[in-house]
Structure 1
Amino acid sequence: MEPNDFLAPAEEKMELAVAYLDEALAHIRAGKANPKIIDGIRVEYYGSAVPVSQVANVAVPDARTITITPWEKPMFKEIEKAIINSELGITPENNGEVIRLSIPPLTEERRKQLVKQSKAEAEQAKVSVRNARRDAIDGLKKAVKQGMPEDVEKDAEASVQKLHDKYLKRIDDVFAAKEKEILTV
């Protein structure tokens, strides 16, 4: 058994934790129009629930507006209903051609809530990174019992710790960027 047998999977898990955090934070609206905020909204389309982006064009004409242009007229009501029933808290405007979502400016209280939610997502990612480190170190300790030299195990543990620190810093950087984006008026 090589130390790399434990380092590679640990790094992969840590990378996935950061990717998950990026994705989770993209869905938190920061007062600017972002088409990703409607990714989670599903509509009924020929018997199955599909994302809005699969039945309509979603565009961002300016910083405060998202436009949704359904490909079929009957989808207007479905899309509007799905948006109203979602947790977005935005009322859609329909002119028969396009559904418009006007993103209201965030209140100070809402900004603090969003920062708190973002921080919770970052903490979850950190826990995943720590779990990956623990799994790798446990694997290395078992490998020592199976004949891996202890000095090799100690070096590998140090490498796992360096990876852990690197990914925690990346998570902190991603969170700091999102916090700045949310708090910027």
Structure 2
Amino acid sequence: MIINLKNQTEEKMKNCTKNFVSSINNLRTDRASPDLLKNLYVEYYGKKTILSNISNIVVEDSRTLRINTFDHKVNKQVEKSIINSNLGLNPISVGNIIRVPIPQLTEDRRNKLIKILHVKSEKSKVCVRIVRRESNDLVKNLLKNKDISKNEEKKLQNEIQLLTNFYIKEINNLTKEKEKQLNSF
């Protein structure tokens, strides 16, 4: 039961970190990457659908992405979604292909992206802390029900805190790395 609680706590904290990594991959640097549009939603016959489910997104060159939709009737919706995505991108339709040129980052846009990065970072840290609080509450309930001793409670809370420290440090490192990427262009 104790090992199961620790494993569940670690898994939830790991998921907070994975979600953070996924969300910051959408913050663009100066090079074209399909990850930039991977989680973009498009209105597809009345339902919101992830762009990567209805198209192929490939790097045409270092500054251009090419989108080949499986159903060319949705090209207008794809363009609209890209424009409304707040990524600062302007798609260009050429026949059945949508090209997305990646413009140079301006200093103003770079600063906005860094602010967005820090907000996402803080939300991820809050996620980790919420997991910690939930786990500590479970530990307190185990003590209250006399399933564990006071010493085991302290030991478990210390281990949960160590996990919390590890994942918050991981999020901080990922934030610094992405900020360095954004500032290097």
Give the structure-2-normalised TM-score: 0.88
Partner amino acid for 1:13? K
Partner amino acid for 2:33? N
Deviations 1:79-123 (A, max 9, x none): 334333443332222221422111101111211111111111111
Partner of 1:17: 16
Q: Return closer, same or farther for 1:150/1:86 CA change in 2, 3 Å cut-off.
A: closer
Q: Return closer, same or farther for 1:129/1:81 CA change in 2, 3 Å cut-off.
A: closer
Q: CA deviation at 1:27?
A: 1.3
Specify the SS of the correspondent of 1:74: helix
Partner of 1:131: 130
Q: Return closer, same or farther for 1:129/1:59 CA change in 2, 3 Å cut-off.
A: same
Partner amino acid for 2:178? K
Cα contact 1:43–1:52 (8 A) shared by 2: no
Partner of 1:156: 156
Partner of 1:169: 169
Q: Distance in 2 between matches of 1:6 and 1:72?
A: 47
159-168 vs 139-148, which deviates more?
Answer: 139-148
Q: CA deviation at 1:48?
A: 3.7
Partner amino acid for 2:26? H
Q: CA deviation at 1:3?
A: 2.6
Q: Distance in 1 between matches of 2:127 and 2:84?
A: 32
Specify the SS of the correspondent of 1:91: coil
Q: CA deviation at 1:61?
A: 2.1
RMSD of aligned Cα (Å): 1.9
Deviations 1:27-51 (A, max 9, x none): 1112221222223130424x54433
- State how many pairs are aligned: 183
Partner amino acid for 2:165? D
Q: Distance in 2 between matches of 1:9 and 1:114?
A: 33
Deviations 1:107-164 (A, max 9, x none): 1121111111111111111111111111212221221222211111111111111111
Cα contact 2:27–2:113 (8 A) shared by 1: yes
71-80 vs 162-171, which deviates more?
Answer: 71-80
Partner amino acid for 1:104? P
Partner of 1:34: 33
Q: Distance in 1 between matches of 2:70 and 2:138?
A: 53
Partner of 2:53: 54
Higher relative contact order (CA 8 A, sep 6+): 1
Cα contact 2:26–2:36 (8 A) shared by 1: yes
Partner of 2:90: 91
Give percent identity, aligned residues only: 32
Q: Distance in 1 between matches of 2:72 and 2:125?
A: 45
Q: Return closer, same or farther for 1:158/1:49 CA change in 2, 3 Å cut-off.
A: closer
